[in-house]
Structure 1
Amino acid sequence: MTDTYRLLDADPAAGPLADEVLLAPAAREPVACLWTAAPGLVVPRTYAARPGFAAVQADFAARGCPVHVRQSGGGVVPQGPGILNLSLAQVFAGRPLDHSEAFYRHLCALIGDTLAAFGIETRAQAVEGSFCDGRYNLAVPSPTRKIAGTAQVWRRIPGHAPDRHVGLVHALILVQGDPAELTARANALEAALGSARRYDADRTETLDRLLPPAERPDFPAALKARLQETLRTRLPLPATTPARPRPEP
């Protein structure tokens, strides 16, 4: 196993599911990928089970907003220009539940440390009203707004011990764009599926809007370069966790 993450290039043909190709090479070494995708929406498999999903999916595709189904959990998220995706994958021993929160914290810390170099303070927390809300969003304070969402997927490794899994953790980082437009796309899908769930654009923010106007044009490239450098130096998590102490008799 390598000391740091090996950066892999995303397959452009894979679109918004590009990070799922990390599951196979991660069985050999920790890997990471930074990637972007064409405009569209991505949903977990629970959405695909909803009545009428196939028809709604075809309608959105005809309107230039394809809806893709991912393996990880969470909710509906937009993809497209201005959104940078970061995924990490590595092997763990034991139950996924024993590693899940640490893996989320690891990803959030990696992104948070990188953003601190640009003077952007973040913390991991839920942001009620944002699309794909979860405990390990990254948010900025005063007022609290989501700037990144996270999700995970776990897979057994064929031919290995049953307690060996590959964990993949993903962050969708809102670098540029209009939060209102991104949120409207997510709301349109919920409405088309007959869901009463709606999201509030004021609960999300894009990172470039937190910077002085003069710094905004160069920010996406600078952020990607800084994340790449962080990945080259950041150690993956240990594959095993210390045994939990037994309760006193």
Structure 2
Amino acid sequence: MIDFLDAAEALAHELDLLEEVSQNPAKRHLWFWESPTCLVSPKNLSNKPLFEKASQILEAEGWPVHLRSTGGDVTPQGTGILNVTHVYATQSGIQVDIRREYDRLCTAIEQALGPGASRGWQPGAFCDGEFNVQFNGRKFAGTAMRIRRGKADRSRSAVLAHAIMLIEPVSLDAIDAINRFLDQLGEVRRIDPAAHASLPEGDSKEDFVKRLTDAFAM
């Protein structure tokens, strides 16, 4: 099942799930969701002097800007974009290794994609990072993570692992919106639509979600 809801609601719900797992480490959530057209920005960009003005301009153009608590960079939401949020607790007494947790997230996506999947930096992609999942050498998924020390069991941590995945080719309107937003903030980097991949022709979102659900269960 894939939920469709406003991005601000989705981001708030992610934090609710993280809090729930922090208080009950036996809980685990695998949640797929989609959102109407918007941009999602990390909170650190809201400290920029021109952030409010940039947000107002983009909202007037049909691209409201929402803030998220995880790191990274500006990402789009809208048609053809699928999000997966995996919230779970680490094993008791084992020190958190963020690379291990990212590997858990990325490996599941790579397994669902199949041959041609890899990970790593992709110059020109939105929210570029070491833990991008690529498909045939271009960015398919961006990943982010938040980790919180467990409240019920201090020897465990609650992990919120998130990926934004391009089920359909990224829209030029979305790339233009990100670039306009970055311009308004005074940022010099530019996003290139050619740096991105999507599901191969003939593959369906429903089949991909099933494979990804199975991969997370391994």
Q: TM-score, normalising length from structure 2?
A: 0.86
Match of 1:53 in 2: 51
Name structure 1 gaps, 5 residues minimum: 1-6, 235-249
Match of 2:131 among 117, 132, 136: 136
**1:178/1:90 CA distance change after superposition, 3 Å:** closer
Distance 2:140 2:121 in 1: 11
1:190 to 173, 182, 191: 182
Report deviation, 1:191.
0.6
SS class of match (2:97): helix
Structure 2 equivalent of residue 170 of structure 1:
162
The change in CA–CA distance for 1:159 and 1:22 in structure 2 (over 3 A counts) is: closer
State the 1:160 CA deviation.
4.4
Deviations 1:149-169 (A, max 9, x none): 0011122334643x5421111
RMSD over aligned Cα atoms: 2.3
Cα distance between partner residues in 2 of 1:95 and 1:72: 23
Alignment match, 2:29:
31
Which residue of 203, 211, 216 corresponds with 1:226? 211
**CA deviation vs aligned residue, 1:135-192 (integer Å, no higher than 9, x gap):** 1101123xx210110011122334643x542111111000014453332221111011
Aligned residues: 212
- Equivalent residues of 1:153, 1:169 under 8 A apart: yes
One-letter code of the match for 2:143? T
For the 8 Å contact 1:22–1:32, the answer to whether it is kept is no
Unaligned runs of 5+ residues in structure 2 are: none
Select the structure of larger CA radius of gyration. 1
CA contact (8 A) 2:4 2:35 kept: no
2:143 counterpart residue number: 150
Identity, in percent, stands at: 28
